[in-house]
Structure 1
Amino acid sequence: MILAGLAACATPAFKADVSRFESQLPAPQGESFAVVADDPALAGGLEFSQYADMVEEQMVRLGYAEAATPEEATLLVRFDYGVDNGRERVRTTGFHDPFYSPWYGYRGYSGFVRPRYYRTRDGRIIRTRSYYGGRWGYGFNDPWFGGPEVRSYTVYTSGIDMKIDRTATGERLFEGKAQALSTSNRLQYLVPNLVEAMFTDFPGNSGETVRISIKPEEKTVRRID
């Protein structure tokens, strides 16, 4: 339980950038909808059906009625989703030395002085001063604090697109995009969070991009005996 708690605390929240545009989206009363795949290749797929159900739940929550078929719906909700192949990032972090910078090593044009202590043979402790560091990284091999830590990881860009059209006329009433960067490429985790972000304060202010924070992915921590 302790390990799981620590893992949860160390995981940042899922953050999505949501852009929405609206043109007289009608009030829910008297309106019905159907969710269809904007990409024909996704139509009829079990995975798409799972994510479409999430969109339907959000529309019903807003007060819109779900139609039996797309032909009977007054509003057609076109939905698409995806994640890219990712790209590698390298991050350099230093220890908690207030003088350490990942760009310049130990900061300061002229370096700084840190006290050192030595014990003599007769037991006396002598305080001396040692010179450390210049602006361009002198001090990286300082055994007192150690050096920087370099980590490599993959970042993925995921997103969903949603459009709402008037079925009878084809008039576009709403367009929305939600995108996020994450170290996960699992659509089963990403799409539900993106859908939740899309419908947060829906339909939002037309033309505005907002950042929505969602709870992080829950990961199982296994104990190794």
Structure 2
Amino acid sequence: MKRTVSLCLAALSLLLGGCATVIRSDVTAFNEWPADLPEKSFVFTHTTAQDNDLEYRNYENLVWAELQRLGFVQPANAAAAQLKVALDYGITEREVRVVEPVVADPYWYGSPFYGPGWRRPGFYSPFYDPFWYAPQVVGQRESTYQLFERRLNVSIARAGNAQKLYEVAVTSEGKMNSLPAVMPYMVRSAFKDFPGKSGVPHRVELKVDGK
């Protein structure tokens, strides 16, 4: 019976493992967002390195789409914009080492219903071994894998005096090393509760579209 339960749990784990992938992002935003902002016209500001960077331009378009959803507009004359938006991003890698116990399942050695099995040198019966049904740790298994931390920072400031109104930091860890694949979800996480509560960290979980 216990063996049957174990197999059922293993099958359930496989089913759950096949569910949609979720991108989890930790988001912290600080804001002094004015309630009476007359208009939300903006332009992007770039560093020299970002001016001709196609990857940056792709992420800028993602931020632009979220700002447009929130009612921001880009004026025909950039000089007339009331706000300036800047963004930065990056990805770092670290190696994770995991040490796990190796457990021997006694039901592989014998069954109490079909007869005794071999566990230690010699012949054993479950009726004479009080530990017959208990799993045993027989060793350790070590493995390593790469974990990637993806980072996004976006700030919004007044164009006239550079007073910052909104700053958000988004970090997301996972085994996926493709920043372009994860960035759409990080950008959505950055503005999900805009402007939100200042200085309150929270986690945003978004399902991967699978397209």
Q: Residue by residue, what CA displacement relative to the aligned partner does 1:120-167 show, whole Å, maximum 9, x if unpaired?
A: xxxxxx75243549xxxx9333xxxxx665432111111111110100
Match of 1:64 among 52, 64, 72: 72
Offset at 1:34?
Answer: 1.5
CA RMSD of aligned residues (A): 3.4
Query: Whose strand fraction is larger, Structure 1's or Structure 2's?
Result: 1
Q: Is the 8 A contact 2:103 2:136 kept in 1?
A: no
Offset at 1:31?
Answer: 2.3
**2:41 is aligned with 1:44:** no
Scaled by the length of structure 1, what TM-score is found? 0.68
Scaled by the length of structure 2, what TM-score is found? 0.72
* Matched residues, number: 183
Match of 1:170 among 162, 181, 187: 162
**2:13 is aligned with 1:13:** no
- The match for 1:111 is none
Task: Go from structure 1 to structure 2 and tell me whether the alpha carbon gap of 1:172 and 1:151 turns closer, same or farther (over 3 Å shift).
Answer: same
Task: Go from structure 1 to structure 2 and tell me whether the alpha carbon gap of 1:57 and 1:65 turns closer, same or farther (over 3 Å shift).
Answer: same
Q: How does 1:6-155 map to 2 (within 5 A)?
A: 9=18, 12-25=21-34, 30-37=39-46, 39-68=47-76, 70-84=78-92, 86-93=93-100, 117-118=115-116, 127-132=126-131, 139-141=136-138, 150-155=142-147
Offset at 1:194?
Answer: 0.9
Q: Is the 8 A contact 1:164 1:174 kept in 2?
A: yes
Q: Is the 8 A contact 2:101 2:137 kept in 1?
A: no
Offset at 1:7?
Answer: 9.3
Offset at 1:187?
Answer: 1.2
The separation in 2 between residues aligned to 1:171 and 1:66, in whole angstroms, is: 19
Q: Is the 8 A contact 1:92 1:149 kept in 2?
A: yes
Offset at 1:95?
Answer: 7.8
Gaps of 5+ in 1: 99-113, 120-125, 142-146, 220-225
Gaps of 5+ in 2: 1-13, 106-110, 118-124
Query: Whose helix fraction is larger, Structure 1's or Structure 2's?
Result: 2
Q: Which amino acid aligns with 1:22?
A: N
Task: Go from structure 1 to structure 2 and tell me whether the alpha carbon gap of 1:8 and 1:131 turns closer, same or farther (over 3 Å shift).
Answer: closer
Q: Is the 8 A contact 1:29 1:63 kept in 2?
A: no
Identity of aligned residues (%): 24
Offset at 1:65?
Answer: 0.9
SS at match of 2:192: coil
